[in-house]
Structures are given as C-alpha cells and as structure tokens.
Structure 1
Amino acid sequence: MDRLPEEVVLHIISFLDILDIVNVQSVSHRYLLLGRDNALWKTETFSHSRAEALRRQRHLLNAQDSRLSELRNAFSALPGGDLTPLDVALLRGSPQPRASSDPQAEARTQRHRALVNWEPDYAYEDFDYYEEYIHRHGPISLGWLKDSKHARSETGSQAEATGLATLSESQSERPAKVVAPLADGSISIWDIGPRSAYSSSSRGRLVGQSKRGLLTGRPESDITENHTMMTETGAVESVAVDSTSQKGYFAVQSLLQEVDLTTMQLVSTKQYPFPITALSEANGQSPITVGTNNTVHLYDPRDPAFITTETATSGELIGGSVYSHATLAQPGSLSILHHDSTSSDDSSIWVAGRFTSLLNYDRRFFPRLRGTLHSGARIASMAFSPFNVVARELDLVRNPDASISSLLEARSHPGPTILAAAEYKGKGSLELHNVSSGSSYQNRQTASASKLLSAAPHGGRIVFSDGDGNLKWVEKDGFSYVRTFNIQPPPDAAGDASDYGIWSSTASEMPGQGDIVQKILPLKAAASTASDNRADINQSNLLLWTGDGALGMLGFGYSDALGVDDDWHDAVEARAQTVEQRAKEDAERQYGMAMRRALERNADEVRFVRGLGMMR
C-alpha cells in the first residue's frame, strides 16, 4: 500500500464507511492526511446532505410509471395534508432537461448540478469539509463555563451573566477569553483558549473577577439594587471589548463604564440621556457607536473630551450638544454593526431594532443618514457574513433553465451580507441583506414559529436561535434545513408525558428548562503553523449566552465542548470503575429522578386544585 500513488489510495478509501475512514487516519501520518482529503470529505458531506436526499427522491419519482406519477400528483394536491408547498413542488417535480438518451449519463448530469447548487464553499473561502461533515452529522456537546451562573451563590447574590463578549490575546485573532458582566455589578473573565500539553488546567475556568458593584457604583452588600440596575434595561448587546488596549465597555442603564480588564479598575464613566440599549464592537481604530432607546451617539475613547464623568441631561440634548447625535424616529435600537474588515468601506454604521428598517449612517458625516433597507420585521440582532446573496431563480435544482455558469458568476461576488434575526407577525424571520447589491431574502415560512433572537455564520451554514430554545442550522441560502439542537434537556425516557405536559408548572424551574439562547458568538479556528501540516479540528465552537444568565460553549464530538477532562483521563477512570460501582451509581441516579417526578406530580396536583378554588 505504501507504494501506491495517493490517487489510488484515495479511490480505495472512498469505498469505506465513514467510521472506517476515520480509523484509517490513525494508521500513519500519510493516511492521516489522505483520510482528511478535502475532495473526499466534500463528496461524503454532499452524499449525506438533505439536497442529495431530495435529488435521489426526485430521481426515483421521475423513474416511476406514468400512471403512478399521475396518482402521486393527485394525492399531493389533496387539501388537508401535512405537506408544505415546497414538498408538493418537489414531489410533483418539473421536467428536467435530458443530457442524453442514456439514463446513467442523465443521472450524472443532474447529480453534478445538485452538487454545484449545494456547495457551501465559495471561491474566496478557505474551506475544510472534514470539519464541515463533523458539524453537520457529528454529536453535539454543550458545556457550561464554571460558576458562570451560580458564582457566589453561597452569599445569596444574583450572579447570572447580563452580557457577553470575547477577548483575544495579543497578536492573535482567535478569542482566548470570555468577558461577562454579572447581575451583582461585577465582571468575570473565563479562559476558553486551547489547552496546552504542558498545562494541567482545563478550559472554561474562571481567571479573573472584579469586586461586586464595580459597574453600578453601589456597595457590595446592596444586592437588590445591584441586580436591578444590571437587569432593568435588558439590553443584549451591552458589552464591547477592545482586545488591543485590553479595555471593556459596559452599558449599565444610561451609563457607559470603561474598565481596564487587566487591573479590573474603572477608568471612566459617560452618562447618556436615555438608557443604553446597544453597543457596537470596539476595535481601537474607530469610535464606538452607542445606541440608546431614542438616540445614536459616537463615543471615542481616544479623545479625552469624550472621557467625562459629568452628567448629560435630556435638556442639554434637546438644546444641542457640542457632539452631534442622531435621533431615532422610532425608539428601540437593539443591534449595531460596523462594516467588517473585508470591506473597503470602513465608515458605515448599521442600526436596527424594534423599527422595521435597517438604518445606515456614515461615520464621516454623522449623523447624516446614508440610506435604509426596508425589512418590515423587528430585528433582534445582526451579524456580518462574507458570502453573497444568490437570487432564487439561479437555483439549479428547482429551476432547470438556470445555468451553472450563471450561478458561479453570482457566487464570485463577495459580500458582505447582513444576517438578521427578526420577528415578523409573531413568527421568526431569518433575513439576508446584501450591502453591495441591495438584494435581500427573508425566510418567514420555515425559519421558526417563534421569534428569532440571534443569528451568525457558522462554517458553510447559518446558525440562529429562536424563542423555543432551539439552535437551527440552515444552508447559506437561508432556508435549506441542516440540523436542529435544543438546549433544553428532554424528559427522561423512564418518565411519563404528564411530567412535562400542560399541567407542569415546575418544568420551567428545572435547570435548562424553558431557557433560550439570547446571543451566539462563533469562535474562529486556530490557523496551522509552518511546522504543523494541519490545523486542529473541532475548534469552530459557539459561545452561548442564555436568557437564564448562563454562559456555555457548544461543540461537536463525544467529549465535552470545553474539554474539561482529557481523553486519557476518561479512559483510565472508566477502567478503574467496577461493574458494581457503575450499577450502584445508575440505580441512585434513577431513584433520584423517580423521586423528583413524584414530587413534581404532587406539586402539580396541588396547584391544579388551588386553581379550581377548592383550596385556600
């Protein structure tokens, strides 16, 4: 085998199952590289995709007898079915252009069109299909940062997180730490950087913490007041971190607090006339955009004139301030974006929120409004993506007249594209707005039955969260389904449905039950060095901030996303446990869950009878 050319070995490997291909990587360094061949895993990823499954289904339906096709079309047209209009269109199909009289040649042509139409990698992207396959089909693991929610619980303080941001190390773009303000007015920092082989410490550990009341200016003992000040506004984009200067900017009601994250000391305070509802990113090269409930301001920490502790009242604002500001026609800015580094235009500011349009300001002529993009929905969050929005008529599967060259030409134009998580008439709306061309696409049919809270690009997919606690991944087109994960743990298989039915009022009090993801922050994978022939996989994880104030990391694989324990440690511990010990632990766990279900049923019965007025 060592004498065979790589092309021949790859052809042999392509006949193996997925698990066998993974095991081949352990043979030698050569087979490690061959087992992660990008073209090989591109084929495997497409073969297991929903797009290929629909193509095969369509091919089989077209190969049926004409009389069966007429019966199928008549059945799909019956009212009251569970089929969506898209399913009906796919089942009925449309006449595909025949490549030749040879059925096999025609099948190859249609498969090639489906592959080109599905490809998530664009010409200007560096794509790893092995990692993409893991993210699409591998098991999902969710780990929570240590003491992110229950820190200092012994003192009775409310320590849930009220925001989320990442802090990168010097000369590195990959975030290495998580910065979050807590409801007790303090700031905590967690380490999420890759573990070193020379260090026994685990990821997710708490590495920095300030005193309580630092952000509120209240005494540490005033727990109730600190909690009220930190949670009253309810802003999601309330933290901005500048990794270059190691400074953090935190919105607390109408105050903007600048904190030195190295010394955990308050540097400056700036007060605005209205509660702060959104902060832009802080990169040290441009002013921070501050959005209040009714206005939009610029804050430049490099300008000493901006650093002031004097109180700015609404009277001063109405009368005219020395620094310009923009007044919103409708209140409620919730998300602010600056143009990303891939764009030549670095002066654009996008503001969205409870109003139905995306506002575009020019920093050079602020507060002049450069333009707007009408959405019609109320936007909760925005994120930039480098890919372009492709028109629906260029879909090679649903439109037989579309050419491959036209699709590739449309994809060759880079973005940026604004991904918006929104709500439209009570349902979730995933929106893609191309900044350059002005083209847009709104998925308001299949995104979610509840409001979308956050959206972000994740590899070759788009990930977003909704009000039901779901994380959903779709293709770059914004509607092709990939997978779903719910952060709420499912009920135990041994229990009955009544524990989590309409009578269960205690389910929301259980850990993870009724929780939602307010913010998603994708982590960049570490780049490979010159001495390393490959980059580590499974590093493109997602940071999550839930509505319950918990901070977690979502990864892909059988181990914990935070990698708290090493694999060898788990193996040694598993071998050390005897069969009797494992059986005893399993029995104790089942007994505890059974007792919990019994107490929940009893409490539900008491609440039900009280609601009928039969108890006082």
Structure 2
Amino acid sequence: MAGMNTLPSEIVLNIARFLEPLDIVHLQEVNKRFLALGRDDTLWREQCFTTSPFLENLRRRRKLVSEGSEHDPQLRDLARALATGNGLGESRLTRPREEARDLKARSNERIRRMANWDPSFPDENVNFYDEFIARNAPISTSWLQQPRNRESAQHEYLEIRGMGLYSETGESDSSMVVAPLDDGSVCIWDIAGTRGRKGSIIGRSNSGILFPHEATNTNGPKERSNMISAGVTECVSVDSVRKTAYFAVQDGMTFYLSDLKLFHVLQGRFQDNLVEVDLQTLTAVSREKFPFLITALSEARYPVPLTVGTNLSLYLHDPRSRGQLGQASGLSERVETYDSSFGSLRDARSQDFRSLLNPEPSPVYAHLSQPGPLSILHMPSSGDEWNGNGDVYVAGRFPSILNYDRRYFPKLRGTIYSGARLCALASLPYPFTQMEKDLARRAELSTQQVFEAKTRPGNTLIACGEYNSKGSLEMYGLSPNPHQTTMSSDSFAGSLHNSVLKNRQTSSSSKLLSVSNHGTRIVVSDGSGNLKWLERDGFTVARRWNVAHGSVEAAIGIFGSMGDSYVDSGSGDIVLKLANTHRGQRENLANEDLVLWTGEKIGLLGFSNKPGFTAESFEEKGPQTPEEAHKEREECTYSQTMRQALQANANEVRFMQGLGLGRSHR
C-alpha cells in the first residue's frame, strides 16, 4: 500500500474504476489522499451511470431489435418502430457502427451515451458520490417526536395538521420543521441536531393561539374540529427571513349551493383566517379574515408578497402593509379583513360578501371562474429570486394551470391546459424539451446536441395530480422570453407543444399527492403510500419505496423485507406532502433528508440501514421490571401478528376481486 500511495492520482483513479463501489469506499479509509481520490466526482458519476436503469433500457431495446430481425420483415419493422418510438427514423441502435470495433471509437461511444444519461446541467453543482448513495443505499424513515395533549389527563397524542420548513439566518438548508397541532398550538422540531436531539421538539406555543376568538368557549374546551379544513395540504407557509409563519385556520362552515360556481356564505362568522405567528416568541401577532375557505398558501419569501388562494379568489398578502395587532391576548380587541369593494381593510362585521360574487374584475383580488386552488408556486422571472417580479402559477381542481404576473396582478396572464386535477407544483431553473428528452433516453443525441439542449435558457414547471383515477406527472418547458410567456397566445401554444410531458401511464396507479426535487431526480408520493424517484425525463424510474418499510413503527409485510419495496395496495400511511431540507435550487440536494407529512405525523426519510430514531425514542421511560418488559414484548408481538393477519386478509380480498386471475397491472 505504501508503494501505491506514491502512484500518480490518474493511475489510482484508473485502478479504482475496476473496483466495486464498496471497495472504493474502503479505499477512502486508507489515508486523506485516498479519501479525496475516493470521492472523485468523475469516478462516482461513472458508477451512477453503470448502475442506472438507463443502460438496462438500452440493452432491452437492442434485444428487441435483434429478435425482430430474426422474424419476417413486417415483425422486424414493428420491432424497430417500438425501439425507435418517435417515428422520426431509424434509431442509432439499428445502424451498424463499423468504427465501434476500434477501442477509441468504443470509448467515444461510451462518453456519448453517458452524456445522454447525465441528468445534471453545466452550471449545477452535483456531488455524484451523494447521488450514488441516494440512488442505491438502503432507505429508512425516522419519525419525529409526537406531541401530546397537555390539557388532558391521559396526555394522548395530538395530530399534526400541516408542515413548513424553517431555516436559520444565513443558512440555505432547513434545520427545523414548523407545524400546527390539533389543540391550536404551534410546534417546532429540530431536524438537523443543531439545537438539541435530532427529531425532538424544541419549542411549542400555548394551546389555542391559532383559534379565532369566537371559537373559544369559556365554559369548556376550545373547538378543534374546524381548525384546518380537510384536504388542504398547503396550509402552512414559513418566512425564514422575518422568522414568522402563516397558518390557514378555518372559522365556521361554508355552505354550497347546487351550482358549484356559486357559494353562499353566512355573513359575520363563517370565514377563514390567516394567522401570523412570531416563531421567536411563539405568539400570534396578526389575524386577517378572508370571506372564503383558504385552500392554498404560496411559499413566503420576504419581501415577495404571500399569495393566498381561497375557493373563489386569489389575494396578494403583503405583511408590510398590515397593522400590528399585538400579542395573542389582544387578538380579540381588533380583527381586520379584506374589503373587496374599496380595496381597504375594514371591520369584519361590516363586510359585504355579496360583492365577492360580482363577476366584474377587482383591483384587490383575482376572481376564479372555478373553485378549488390547491397549490401556488412562485417562480422568478430571472435568476434573482428576491426581485418580486416573478410569475405566480396556480393549480387545483380546475383543468388548467393559471399564470399571473405579480406586477400586473390580478390580471390573468395566461393558462396552460392540463386536463387533470392537479394538487402540487414544483419547478426547476433549467430548460425542458420533451423531444430531446426522448432522444436522450434512447441515447440518440450527440454530445454537442446534449450540450446545446442543456445550455438553452428556460425553466421547467412540474405538476402532479390525478387524471381518470390514475396518477399524472406533468412537466412544462417555459421560455424566458416575455413575449412568448403569454401562454394563451397562438405563437406560444405552438412552441409549448414540443415541451410538454404528461406521464399518465407509468407515474402511478393511484393519485399523485406531492412532488419535489431531490438531487438530480424528481420524487413523487401517491395515494397508496408509495414514493417513486424518477429521472428528469419524467418517465425513467430510478427507485421505489413504500413509506411503511424502513420504519420500526411500520407494519411488517407477510413476505418480510423486500429491498426497495413497492406495495401498490398501500400500507396505511400516505405522504400528503414531502419537501427537501435543502432550499438552494442550484446546489446538490442528494444528501439531504426528505421531510414527510402523513396528515398525522412527520418523518425524515434518509439513506441508512435503520432509522436514526422513532417517535417512542423521545419518551421518558422509567426502569422496567422483568414482568413489565415481558408484557411489553408480548403486546408488540400481538400487534405485529394482527397487522400481518389483516394484511393477509386484504391480499385475499384483492385476489378474489380478480376472480383468481391476479391483479391487473394498469
């Protein structure tokens, strides 16, 4: 080994190329020099390429073409058409390459294929060592400490009603999670281990600070059932710069008439509140009432105004223009709300709600012709995310994605037709073109064509939801040209057609609930509790996982552990919202945890053999007698056995539904 330590770095790296990934990791333990060489980005980029499904897909297409050539000409032409897939001509795989016999030509061909596979962009900082871990390492889920009810003698667990990530001053990564609880309090967890034990509660407000003052009953407990409306996942927005958080809190009920476009709201009481909470003092500092149910909040990034989506309207909420309402104890003295008639703030009791049903444009808010926005995305118009001049994209229970320019709000700038019911939006600061992605997936682009495709200006809008009861993952290439971003224009509709991908076949057999960027991949969650990582082409699956596996608290399947488990039937918990702890878009995200919210609890998904902690890890338990320990083990065994029995019974029911023919893979 001493002699090897004197070898030039190029020779050491060339030797490392022939080692297995585990051996390369062991090589890093020799000394600091080998540690640096063992983390070489080019080395691990090649390892990611070798273990990716990209090469396997190429081999499958080549086999299909070779088998088709052995049949009659009609079948051969069909096999070639399936391998080519786009009808633009023969694939590179079908044309003989005499020069590939030469060693240099083989090397150039491998470089070209790797360029077609490479998911990174020229100005993107990607650590492929972390990428390899995220693509191949075991997955585990650690559940954060579950808060308890302090006002009850039983101290039962409280449900977590939302989720938002909180970053400390000067940090790009999120180190804390902020969430409302079922008792109206606000709770903060440490997910980085910088302020305490990782996954533990580091702060919690008094109970009831999120409740409207009308919901407080002096003769009994506070109302909890209507705090956050069911089905609203984007109900928390955290402004890390101002150290505040916004919570959408329901106050009363909304009555629907037979015409879904028309709502009748009882005046005076049945409204919805936007509560602003100071995260340093954990007290409510302001409350604003909105006339309709708040269904979505955008990300809060000072000084860009927060976009508030209600059932029938959109508002720009600028925290700098509101009045200071004092601490939580003074909220009952003054409550302010939007007055849609005059564009000012008036007392809630004098609010005229009939004006909100007026179809005439308003200078204060944007009318929605169809109810139900579920996700609001802020996208900058340039590389500066703090200029406040970016676009606002709104998706929900209507068939189109709405686009607003914040400078001309509330005028609608344009729409993108989807046809699906979308519930989550994300973005990438890089261009997207479906045709080039399809050609790259089949390794048909030259290195120059790959470079030109990745250096073209533009952004990518990512959406997910449901189409005909199946999951829909959609990607839209957006042009930075302001004259082309009027999406309702005919000129842009033609260019948009080549940059739209709608994966409604292989994304999921059930509704997609959330989407996020994770390293150089896109991760989605569905209604069966599954997580799926896809490449940036929107089709190639990197790996799958079910939220029930890799967790000590999860039910054990009847077939035991199965590696990257993927259970279409579901396992109980589903991920309503997922987010990456890394906030920078042009930095590597692979080594960061994913934060998962199931509607009741919050977990961290990481890459390790076992969870770092569980919700029970934070419980203070006294010394147990042998009898108590034996009883606890028996209870755990009984619980596991019952879960396995119920799972087996569910499998039998699904089998019988298919009349013994097995499950049909849609």
Fold similarity call, TM over 0.5? yes
Listed as ranges, the gaps of 5+ residues in structure 1 are 78-83, 497-507, 528-534, 567-583, 608-616
Structure 1 window deviating more from structure 2 (319-328 vs 157-166): it is 319-328
What amino acid is aligned across from residue 203 of structure 1 in structure 2? K
- Pick from 230, 234, 246: which aligns with 2:227? 230
Is the counterpart of residue 428 in structure 1 residue 450 in structure 2?
A: no
Matched, 1:20 2:12: no
Match of 2:598 in 1: 546
Match of 1:366 among 394, 400, 409: 409
Q: Report the equivalent of 1:334.
A: 374
Q: Contact between 2:134 and 2:591, CA under 8 Å: does it hold in 1? A: no
- Which residue pairs with 1:175 in the alignment? 174
The separation in 1 between residues aligned to 2:189 and 2:400, in whole angstroms, is 36
Does the CA-based 8 Å contact 1:167-1:242 persist in structure 2?
yes
Distance in 1, Cα, partners of 2:202 & 2:367: 41
**Secondary structure of 2:464's match?**
strand
For 1:23, the aligned partner's letter is H
Once the two structures are superposed, what CA deviation does each residue of 1:371-413 show, in whole Å capped at 9, x if it has no partner?
A: 1111111110101212221332564456676443223211112
How far apart are the structure 1 equivalents of 2:140 and 2:69? 47
Task: For 1:230, give the aligned amino acid.
Answer: M
Q: What CA distance in whole angstroms lies between the structure 1 residues aligned with 2:643 and 2:322? A: 60
For the Cα contact (< 8 Å) 1:51–1:114, is it kept in 2?
Answer: no
Which sits farther off after the overlay, 49-58 or 130-139? 49-58
Identify the match of residue 283 of structure 1 among 276, 285, 301.
Answer: 301
Q: Which residue of 2 aligns with 1:522?
A: 580
Aligned with 2:223: secondary structure? helix
Q: Structure 1 residues 94, 101: closer, same or farther in 2, change over 3 A?
A: closer
Any conservation in 2 of the 1:300–1:306 contact (CA below 8 Å)? no
Distance in 2 (CA, whole Å) between partners of 1:313 and 1:203 is 49
Counterpart residue number, 1:81: none
What is the 5 A alignment of 1:258-269? 258-269=276-287
In structure 1, C-alpha distance between the alignment counterparts of 2:292 and 2:200, rounded to whole Å: 36
Does structure 1 residue 257 correspond to structure 2 residue 275? Answer: yes
Check whether the contact 2:471–2:507 (CA below 8 A) recurs between aligned residues.
Answer: yes
Give 1:500's aligned residue: none
Q: Distance in 1 between matches of 2:641 and 2:508?
A: 35
- What's the offset of the Cα at 1:351? 1.1
Higher deviation after alignment, 271-280 or 372-381: 372-381
Letter aligned with residue 467 of structure 2: Y
Residue pair 2:402, 2:414 contacting (<8 A) in 1 also: yes
Between the aligned partners of 2:631 and 2:15, the Cα distance in structure 1 is 45
Q: 1:406 aligns with which of 435, 439, 449?
A: 449
Q: 1-side partners of 2:392 and 2:198: how far apart? A: 35
Q: Secondary structure at the match of 1:51?
A: helix
- Taking structure 1 as the reference length, the TM-score comes to 0.80
Q: Which of the residues 235, 238, 247 maps onto 1:241?
A: 238
The structure showing larger relative contact order (alpha-carbon pairs under 8 Å, at least 6 residues apart) is 2
Instruction: Say if 1:565 and 1:293 are closer, same or farther in 2 by CA, change over 3 A.
Output: closer
Taking the aligned partners of 2:134 and 2:167, their CA distance within structure 1 comes to 24
- In 2: Cα distance, 1:222 partner to 1:22 partner: 64
Q: Mean alpha-carbon deviation: is it higher for 487-496 or for 291-300? A: 487-496
Mean Cα deviation higher: 103-112 or 422-431: 103-112
SS across alignment from 1:447: coil
**Residue 537 and residue 124 in structure 1: after superposition, are their counterparts in 2 closer, same or farther (change >3 A)?**
closer
* Matching residue within 406, 420, 429 for 1:386: 429
Partner of 1:458 in structure 2? 518
- Alpha-carbon spacing, 1:587–1:364, altered in 2? closer, same or farther (3 Å): closer
Provide the C-alpha distance between the structure 1 equivalents of 2:73 and 2:378, rounded to a whole number of angstroms.
Answer: 54
- Contact 2:582–2:589 (CA under 8 A) maintained in structure 1: no
Q: For the structure 1 residues 323 and 153, does the alpha-carbon distance in structure 2 shift closer, same or farther, using more than 3 Å as the test?
A: farther
Contact 1:235 1:277 (C-alpha < 8 Å) held by counterparts: yes
Q: More deviation in 119-128 or 11-20?
A: 11-20
Report the equivalent of 2:121: 122
Offset, 1:492: 3.9
Q: Which amino acid aligns with 2:500?
A: S
252-261 or 391-400, larger mean C-alpha shift: 391-400
Q: CA deviation at 1:107?
A: 5.0
- From the superposition, tell whether residues 488 and 153 of structure 1 become closer, same or farther in structure 2 (CA, over 3 Å): farther
In the alignment, structure 1 residue 54 sits paired with structure 2 residue 57? yes
Deviation at 1:560, TM superposition (A): 2.6
Residue 165 of structure 1 corresponds to 164
Q: Which SS does the other structure have where 2:98 is aligned?
A: coil
Is 1:481 the equivalent of 2:533?
no
Q: What CA distance in whole angstroms lies between the structure 2 residues aligned with 1:244 and 1:587? A: 47
Would you say the 8 A contact 1:202–1:563 is kept in 2? no
Q: For 1:594 and 1:236, how far apart are their aligned partners in 2?
A: 31
Contact persistence 1:157–1:223 (CA under 8 A): no
**More displaced stretch, 303-312 vs 314-323:** 314-323
- Output aligned runs, 1:185-334, within 5 Å: 185-195=184-194, 201-217=196-212, 218-219=215-216, 226-253=223-250, 254-304=272-322, 308-309=335-336, 310-311=347-348, 312-315=351-354, 317-318=356-357, 324-334=364-374
- Is the alpha carbon distance of 1:325 and 1:50 closer, same or farther for their aligned partners in structure 2, counting shifts above 3 Å? same
CA contact under 8 A between 1:177 and 1:193: conserved in structure 2? yes
Which SS does the other structure have where 2:427 is aligned?
Answer: strand
CA apart distance, 1:518:
0.8
Say which SS state the counterpart of residue 407 (structure 2) adopts.
helix
Q: Would the aligned equivalents of 2:518 and 2:589 in 1 still touch at CA under 8 Å?
A: no
Aligned partners of 1:87, 1:227: CA distance in 2, in Å?
Answer: 57
Secondary structure of 2:316's aligned partner: strand
How many residues in Structure 1 have an aligned counterpart in Structure 2?
557
Question: Given that residues 511 and 526 in structure 2 are in contact (C-alpha distance below 8 angstroms), is that contact kept between their aligned partners in structure 1?
Answer: yes
1:138 aligns with 2:137: yes
Closer/same/farther in 2, CA of residues 128 and 597 from structure 1, 3 Å limit = closer
Deviation at 1:520, TM superposition (A): 1.0
RMSD: 4.1
The range that moved more, 439-448 or 51-60, is 51-60
Query: In the TM superposition, what are the counterparts of 1:436-451 in structure 2 within 5 Å?
Result: 436=479, 438=496, 439-451=499-511
Secondary structure at the counterpart of residue 12 of structure 2: helix
User: In terms of mean alpha carbon deviation, does 148-157 or 129-138 score higher?
Assistant: 148-157
Q: In the aligned structure 1, how far is the partner of 2:82 from the partner of 2:400?
A: 29
Alpha-carbon distance in 2 for matches of 1:520, 1:453: 9
- What's the offset of the Cα at 1:220? 8.7
- The DSSP-based 3-state class of the residue aligned with 2:504 is strand
**Structure 1 residues 213 and 565: CA distance shift in structure 2, 3 A:** closer
Percent identity, please.
37
> 1:361 and 1:595 mapped to 2: Cα distance?
54
Mark the CA change 1:87 to 1:518 in structure 2 (over 3 Å): closer, same or farther: farther
Q: In structure 2, how many angstroms separate the alpha carbons of the residues matched to 1:170 and 1:406?
A: 41
1:562 CA displacement: 6.1
1:544, 1:98 → 2: CA distance? 49
* CA displacement, residues 402-446 of structure 1 (integer Å, 9 cap, x when unaligned): 443223211112442111112112211111112226432111111
Structure-2 residue corresponding to 1:467: 527
Q: In 1, are the aligned partners of 2:65 and 2:83 still within 8 Å (CA)?
A: no
Alignment partner of 1:592 is 2:638: yes
| Structure 2 partner of 1:578 | none
Matched residue of 2:592: which SS? coil
2:620 alignment partner in structure 1: none
Q: Deviations over 1:209-261 (max 9, x none)?
A: 11222111444999986331124343111111111221111001210011111
Specify the code of the residue in structure 1 equivalent to 2:210: L
- Give the letter for the 2:321 counterpart: D
> CA shift at 1:468, angstroms?
1.0
Q: Kindly tell me: are residues 282 and 67 of structure 1, through their superposed partners in 2, closer, same or farther at Cα, counting changes over 3 Å?
A: closer
